[in-house]
Amino acid sequence: MSLYNQENIDIQEIELNLLLQAVHLKYGYDFSNYSKAHLKRRILHRLNLRDISTISEMQNKILWDKEFYKTFLQDLSINVTEMFRDPVFYQAFRKKVIPDLSTYAHIKIWHAGCSTGEEVYSLAIILKEENLLHKTQIYATDFNKKVLEQAKLGIYSKKEMELYSRNYLESGGKQQLSDYYTSKYGSVIFEQSLAKTIVFADHNLVTDGVFAEVNLVFCRNVLIYFDKTLQNRVLGLFSNSLIKRGFLCLGTKESLRFSAVESNFETIDKEQKIYKKAQLNK
């Protein structure tokens, strides 16, 4: 049972900082600029599940037990995703981003924090319907190797397809979602023509660099887990990766407002968090 109460909450804070340092030193992952509220929630959840009494005790397990460390890593990387998540966003994307993208001879996209891939296959389907997929290269990245493996396979549970089909149609889909996959037993596999335009790669937004000269950066529901300092670092990466007049799409709870790169962008859709890199800035 957890030992924490109101009187020793300051100890919990110290232990949390020490744990993050230990993980960084031992495994090279730096979580020090993740939102503290998010970290605490996830760590305390694991603590209660495993009947561990303090974060210090958990630190010991993380350092000495590799399997436990892997569980801890999965705990911190929330991978919840779905196809055509927020259909209204995709409607806006089709209307306000696609016409501009279609003017380029070649399109390069960086999809950061792609999780198990549902969102990147959604994007590929839209590009196919708009006859742009053949001239597009998508780099889909995440720091979690386990989800990248799933994303590469493009295999999902058939149970999810009811919701995804609804999302797809609401988002302005031009066919049926089932036109893009084959069902086998309880699973579906998305067609090869979608996957072959996508390069899945390991990339950590905390430590890794830019993708040069991209027309579009897609990074939805990732910045919410970061503190202001890390958000600014990552938004700086996106700004430096984009060509002039390139687009940036964030999640509905995320924004460029008050960020260090706000003035580099114009707002294309305030509600759907679609931005365009201004002509004059770098």
Window 83-102: contact mask with ligand SAM (x via CB under 6 A): --x-----------------
Using DSSP bridges, classify how beta strands 181-184 and 187-190 pair: parallel, antiparallel or unpaired. Answer: antiparallel
Q: Any contact of residue 81 with ligand SAM (CB under 6 A)?
A: yes
Q: Of the two residues 217 and 261, which places its CB atom closer to ligand SAM in the complex?
A: 217
Q: How far is the CB of 238 from ligand SAM (least distance, A)?
A: 12
Candidate residues 206, 210, 243, 260; the one interacting with ligand SAM per rule CB under 6 A: 206
Q: Where are the alpha helices (DSSP H) in the chain?
A: 9-27, 36-49, 55-64, 66-76, 87-96, 98-101, 118-129, 145-153, 161-170, 192-195, 228-241
Q: How far is the CB of 108 from ligand SAM (least distance, A)?
A: 18
Q: Any contact of residue 220 with ligand SAM (CB under 6 A)?
A: yes
Q: Any contact of residue 273 with ligand SAM (CB under 6 A)?
A: no
Q: How far apart are the first and last CA of the chain?
A: 53
Q: How many CB atoms lie within 10 A of CB 237?
A: 21
**Rounded Cα–Cα distance for residues 70 and 23 (Å):** 11
Q: Any contact of residue 143 with ligand SAM (CB under 6 A)?
A: yes
Residues 106-135 that bind ligand SAM (CB under 6 A): 113, 115, 119
Residues 61-80 that bind ligand SAM (CB under 6 A): 77-80
Q: Any contact of residue 8 with ligand SAM (CB under 6 A)?
A: no
Helix 118-129 to helix 161-170 angle (10° resolution) is 40
Q: How far is the CB of 110 from ligand SAM (least distance, A)?
A: 11
Q: Of the two residues 52 and 241, which places its CB atom closer to ligand SAM in the complex?
A: 241
At a CB cut-off of 8 Å and minimum separation 6, what does 109 contact? 123, 136, 137, 138, 139, 214, 215, 216, 217, 218
Size of the site for ligand SAM (CB under 6 A): 21
The helix/strand/coil state of 205 is coil
Q: How many CB atoms lie within 10 A of CB 200?
A: 23
Q: Any contact of residue 139 with ligand SAM (CB under 6 A)?
A: no
Could you tell me which residues are beta bridge partners of residue 269? 274
Q: Of the two residues 77 and 264, which places its CB atom closer to ligand SAM in the complex?
A: 77
The helix/strand/coil state of 36 is helix
At a CB cut-off of 8 Å and minimum separation 6, what does 167 contact? 82, 83, 84, 85, 87
Candidate residues 59, 221, 231, 272; the one interacting with ligand SAM per rule CB under 6 A: 221
Q: How far is the CB of 29 from ligand SAM (least distance, A)?
A: 8
Residues 154-193 that bind ligand SAM (CB under 6 A): none
Cα 194-82-73 angle, rounded to 5 deg: 100
Q: Any contact of residue 256 with ligand SAM (CB under 6 A)?
A: no
Residues forming contacts to ligand SAM in the complex (CB under 6 A) are: 77-81, 85, 113, 115, 119, 142-144, 147, 204-206, 220-222, 225, 251
